[in-house]
Every structure is written in structure tokens, then in C-alpha cells.
Chain A
Amino acid sequence: MAAQIFSAIFVIIVGVGGCVAYFWGANKLVDIIFPSRGVKGAAAIDNLRRQGMIRPWLFVGPAMIILTIYLIYPVIETLRLSFLDRGGVNFVGLANYQWAFGDREFRNSILNNIIWLAVVPAACTFLGLIIAVLTDKIWWGTIAKSLIFLPLAISFVGASVIWKFIYEYRGEGQTQIGLLNAIIQYFGGQPQVWISLPFWNNFFLMIILIWIQTGFAMVILSSALRGIPEETLEAAVIDGANPFQIFWKIMVPQIWGTIAVVWTTITILVLKVFDIVLTMTNGQWNSQVLANLMFDWMFRGGGDFGRGATIAIIIMIAVIPIMVWNIRQANKETGGH
């Protein structure tokens, strides 16, 4: 263990030192090869121009290499693998896609993902907005926001344990140690094994993600609400608008752009949701989702790279519209710079 800590520290030093050495050394090298000081006239200008051409690439170079290896190459390779067999050797055309849409588990995952997509972003955004508006009106709002924000720091696995404890089931008549069943039993209801109720168990898993992500929506929307000009709200009050009218007709339209950003951010997160399903049910009782199914196929029976890649591509296809929208937005904003 000591060796492990030592090697971690060593790597930090080597890694950071290596980065510093690279950037400093490469920069120096350019100065030496194309000197701009001590050279006269046209040569100096020439060298300055050459420096200006090379130096940006030295700065972005390491990042580009890593991005290429870890993200750009894999995207292309995954697309290629989705047309190959399980070992990634023989071309099988669209067989993996045909398999996917004929597979019961895959179709169940798609259906579940659609439910997740319909419920979680909407619930997080709505709850986040409500909490942001309410906490703005009370003196202890900052503390309340901090506490609601807190689950965002908790890992999905940790959150799954937390909620599994809430959903814990004991036979009827026994002392329930799971909070949910205890409440149900207190009011005379039947305790249930919540995570194995087909269809409804999806919602019990979604609650975990909603619990984590509402804080995110709340913080972003709260800051957007602060940006609404005070005069607009005052004018509405003078005109006799009630709080609900102010909320729906003034606040919501004013922060529409931010709501869209929060919504799409959570949408992408939902498409990738994996940890919660793996730890709570591992896809049993019809609760499978695409990301967990993909992980499953990566290793199932020694791994089927063709099918795994196909499922990854399908997740990617769902993300592409958001990706295009993001790039357009960013281009609009940075167009002038």
C-alpha cells in the first residue's frame, strides 16, 4: 500500500513535471530555431511569423493527442465495430442492429430509457424551479438550497445504497426497517418489494436520479431567476398579477433558455445512466436500460464487442441532436471572438 501511495505521488510529480517540461521546452525550442531577438529586419519578422504559426499547435497539441486517442478514434472505431461480429473480426453488415431490434431485452431497455427520458429531466427541472422560487423568499433559503444541493456530491452507487435502505422490505407484520415500507405499514398498507415490481420499479430507480439532480437544476435556475429585472416583476405586481401568474407568465418565459440547457444536460445524463440500475437491480424485473445493457454485453460470455458497440451507437444517435444544438449555440455566442 505504501508503494502504491508512493507511486501515485511519483506520478503526480512526473506528470505535472512532464507537462511543465514539455510546454517550457517546446516553447524554448521554437525560440531557438526561429530566433526573433538578436536577428535583424526581414528575418526577424519572418521568424516571428513562423513562431506564430507553430506555437498555438504546441499549446493545443497534447490536448489534441489525448482527445484523439480517448474520444475521437473510439467514436469511429465503435461505429466500425458495430458492423463486425463479437470478436470484432468479420463483417456482418447490419446483423447486430437486426439482432438489437428483435431482442426482447433490448426493446425493454429502449422502452425504459424513453420513460426515464420523459420523467427524470422534467421532474428535476420542475422541482428545481419550484424550490428555486420558494427558497428565494425565505431567510434560511441558502441553507435549504445547500442541503438540497448536497446529493449532487454523492456517487450514484452511494445514492443507490441510501435508497435501497429506504426501499428495504421485511415480511408483513415484521418491524419494517425501510422507511418507505414503515410509513406504508403505519398507515395500514401492505409493504412491498419496491424494486422488483415490474414497470413501477423503474420509477423507484428514477427517484434516485431525481433526488441527485434536482439540486443541479435548482442552482442553475435560481441564478437565472436572479437575472430577471426587478422592474419587470414589480410592474407585474402593480398590474395585479397573482404569484401563479407571475411564475408562469413572467418568470418561466424569461428563463426559457436556461430551462432548455438544464433539461438537455439532464437528458444526456439520463441516456448514460448506468450505476443506479447496475447496483439496484442489474436490469432484473424489466428495469434494464441501454447503458447497463451495453456494459453487460461488453463482458457477457467473454464479451460481444459487436453488440456492445451497436448499443453504444444507439445511445450516441439519441445524443446527436443535442450535440448539434450545442455547437450552434456556441458558434452564435463565440462568433465575434
Chain B
Amino acid sequence: MAVTTGKSFAGRFGVHIAVLIFVAIWTVPTLGILVSSLRDKDQIIASGWWNSFASSSQTEAGRLPPASAQVEKDGKFVLEGNIFGDGAARDISAFGVKSAAPTQYPAGTTADLGDGVTLQLNADGGFVMQSPKAFEGERGQRVYYASSAPPKFTTDNYKTVLFSEGIGRSFMNSLTVTIPATVIPILIAAFAAYALAWMRFPGRALLIAVIIGLLVVPLQMSLIPLLKLYNGVGSFFGVSSKTYLGIWLAHTGFGLPFAIYLLRSYIAGLPREIMESARIDGASDFEIFVKIVLPLSFPVLASFAIFQFLWVWNDLLVAMVFLGTEGDQIVLTAKLNALLGSRGGDWEILTTSAFVTIIVPLIVFFSLQRYFVRGLLAGSVKGG
């Protein structure tokens, strides 16, 4: 493909810049919650996370007193005082009067606001505003100022969400759902895939067609009948209809078409000679499967396991229908969704919880990307 590279320097430079922009758009959002989750919770709401390393990170707004507080001095109208009132003074580094330029003037200097109006704001918060004409209006001048609080990073947010917000518990619940729901389908699918690839029996072509059809059946089609079925089974045995066993089986069922499809196309591609020579040596189908097909299929089994793991871990819909929403059953995705409702503006809780929910998939993804991509390429007919 190198032949298509733009020959000119500008062309090549443009490609680098374009890719850089794409990479930035695709990584900055995630970086935002990672950085925020490590920030002090007061600083999160005081400044954007992209300013978190700068010590001028806290840009705040305040109002000077209204016109009624003015005094006339030497023919000028003056407003004087401290912007922090009686509160503790902070170190102001710069100030401004426009939201677009909140740090236009360094602290201690006198800003010319036009029409002869001047404003001086000192580092300790003391201000003097002067005007040749009387000030008017009930609302005072808006002032923006940057106070130089040093950047503060902490792991407190993680302690809070893991131990008092219930995220730690949900993490365990997610693991409890995900691991069996990943392991159980593999063997069931592998046997079926072998039969569909290498054994001759009537109805095989039809079965393959059915499985390919089921690949794209929306999950929504299954929810109501299964909910009814689970409720029925639950009340028949006098147990809850929302159990871990129920969701393991549900995820197994929903994952099987893709598992069989993916494994079948791989197993069908194994060399015929190996199968035939084993058969001539007197091996049965069962022995061929266990001793030859399973070991050779390791890469595709790994691909499927990664897919199923990510899909189950990231699932919200199935968990909300088939599992409870209480502490001992609620999974991470459902917990995060609940927090969005109950802790809507508490970004230190939300960003930290979100990062806890995505860290496991990211680790799995980065360490096993090769298998993941292979599965993606082999099974891209699947509806996701």
C-alpha cells in the first residue's frame, strides 16, 4: 500500500496530523474520566480536567457589591472591599471581567474597563473599582479570577466508590455472572460445531442455516417469553425468578449462535487429511474431537471466550431483566446506570465508577487483542 502514499512532504505531514486528530478524538474522552477519577472532588467541579495539572486550575467567578455600596472620593465613585468577604483569603493570580478571558489581568494590576472605569484586584482578594460617573444597577460587576490552588490528586474517590458506594460488591457480582457465562457455552458450542463441520447427517444444512439466522435475531425477541418462563419456573418451585443460574443460562443461549458459527467455520477449515488419517487409524469421532480438534482450535476458542467475556461483562439489558437490582445481585453496568440517576452531578463518583467498570475489559482487550481481532475478522457477520 506504500505506493499510494502522497509523495509530497505536505501530503505526508497531513496524514500524520489527520491520524493524530482521530486518535485524540478517540482517546481524550476516556482520558477525561481517568484523570477526573484521580482528582480531588472539589477541584473536579472547580475546573475542567484538562486544567488539572496547572496550578491556576481554579477559575472562579464572583460579584462585586452593588452600586449602593459606592462612596464618592476625590470626585470619583469608588467601590472597595474584599472579594472573599470575611472568608479565608486565597491567592489570586489573575483576574478578568469577561468569561472568555477570565485571567486577562495579573493580580495587583489596574484594569481599564473603558469609559474611565478601572478595577484593581490584589492577590489577597482586596479590590478597588473606580469610575468618574456613579455606578448604577442592583447587580455588581462580575469578576472572574484564578486562584492558584496547587493540583491535588488522590485515590480517595476509589476508596469511596469501592467500599461505600457498593461498586466493589457489584464488581464481584459482575465476575460471578461473567466467568460461568463465558466458560459454559464453549464446550457445548465446540461439540455442535464439530458435528456441523465434519459429521454427515440429515438436516445438517438446515441446522447451519437456522444458526446463521439466529445470529441476527434481536435479543428483544427473547426477553418477554423468557421473563414469563422464568417467573413461571420460579413460582412453580417457590424460588425467586432472578437467579445467577438463570442469567448464566440466558447468556449461554444468547451466545451460542455466534459461538457455533465462529467455531464451525474454523473447525471446517482444519485440514481434511488429519481427520481422515485419524479415522483410518480407527479413531472415533469422539476421540478425533477431543484429541485433535480441540487442541487445534485453541485460537478460535480464545477468540470466542474474549468476545463472550466482553459481551457479558458489558451487558446491561440481560442483567436488568434477569437479575435483581439489590446489592447481592446488581452488576457493574446496572449499578453505574443507577448511580447516574441517584448521583447525577457527583462527577467524582461517576467518573471513578465508570473507570472501575471499564478497566477489566480494557485489560482483557489489550492483553488479548490479537485473538480479539481474529475473532472479529472471522465472525463479522454477527450482529454484535
Q: Are A and B part of the same complex?
A: yes
A157 within 8 A of partner (CB): yes
How many chain-B residues does the 8 Å CB contact rule pick out? 133
Scan residues 276-306 of chain A and give those whose CB is less than 8 A from a CB of chain B: 278-279, 291, 294-295, 298, 305
A-B contact count (CB 8 A): 382
B377 in contact with A151 (CB, 8 Å): no
B172-189 vs A, CB cutoff 8 Å, 1 = contact: the mask equals: 110110011001100111
Known contacts A55-B285, A146-B369, A177-B49: A60-B244 contact under CB 8 Å = no
B216 in contact with A243 (CB, 8 Å): no
B19 in contact with A155 (CB, 8 Å): no
Smallest Cβ-Cβ distance to B209: which chain A residue: A327
Contacts of A278 in B (CB 8 A): 316, 337
Interface segment, one of B118-126, B132-140, B221-229, B234-242: B221-229
B112 within 8 A of partner (CB): no
A40 within 8 A of partner (CB): no
B376 in contact with A330 (CB, 8 Å): no
B184 in contact with A15 (CB, 8 Å): yes
Interface segment, one of A92-100, A110-118, A135-143, A197-205: A135-143
A168 within 8 A of partner (CB): yes
A11 in contact with B221 (CB, 8 Å): no
Interface segment, one of B69-77, B85-93, B154-162, B360-368: B360-368
B199 in contact with A59 (CB, 8 Å): yes
Contacts of A71 in B (CB 8 A): 214, 217, 221-222, 253-254, 257
* Complex alpha-carbon distance, A135 and B2, angstroms: 11
B157-171 vs A, CB cutoff 8 Å, 1 = contact: the mask equals: 000000000000100
A33 within 8 A of partner (CB): no
* Complex alpha-carbon distance, A157 and B50, angstroms: 23
A43 within 8 A of partner (CB): no
A185 in contact with B213 (CB, 8 Å): no
Scan residues 360-384 of chain B and give those whose CB is less than 8 A from a CB of chain A: 361-362, 364-366, 369, 373, 376-377, 380-384
B4 within 8 A of partner (CB): yes
Contacts of B229 in A (CB 8 A): 69
B280 within 8 A of partner (CB): no
Contacts of B216 in A (CB 8 A): 268, 319, 322-323, 326
B357 in contact with A155 (CB, 8 Å): yes
* Complex alpha-carbon distance, A8 and B179, angstroms: 8
Which residue of the partner chain, among B59, B142, B188, B227, contacts A63 with CB atoms under 8 Å?
Answer: B188
* Complex alpha-carbon distance, A71 and B365, angstroms: 29
Min distance, Cβ B265 to any Cβ of chain A, angstroms: 8
Contacts of A326 in B (CB 8 A): 212-213, 215-216, 381
A134 in contact with B18 (CB, 8 Å): yes
Known contacts A153-B362, A186-B100: A305-B383 contact under CB 8 Å = no
Smallest Cβ-Cβ distance to A8: which chain B residue: B176
Question: Could you pull out 21 A-B pairs where Cβ atoms are within 8 angstroms?
Answer: A4-B172, A11-B245, A66-B256, A67-B210, A70-B222, A71-B217, A81-B224, A135-B19, A137-B1, A150-B27, A157-B316, A157-B337, A161-B33, A166-B29, A220-B376, A223-B377, A247-B4, A266-B384, A278-B316, A294-B220, A312-B220
Give me the interface of B with A, judged by CB distance under 8 Å. 1-6, 11-12, 15-16, 18-19, 22-23, 25-30, 32-33, 36, 44-50, 59-61, 99-100, 102, 142, 169, 172-173, 175-176, 179-180, 183-184, 187-189, 191-192, 194-197, 199-201, 204-205, 207-229, 244-245, 248-250, 252-254, 256-257, 260, 268, 284-286, 289, 310, 313-317, 320-321, 328, 333, 336-337, 340, 347, 350-351, 353-354, 357-358, 361-362, 364-366, 369, 373, 376-377, 380-384
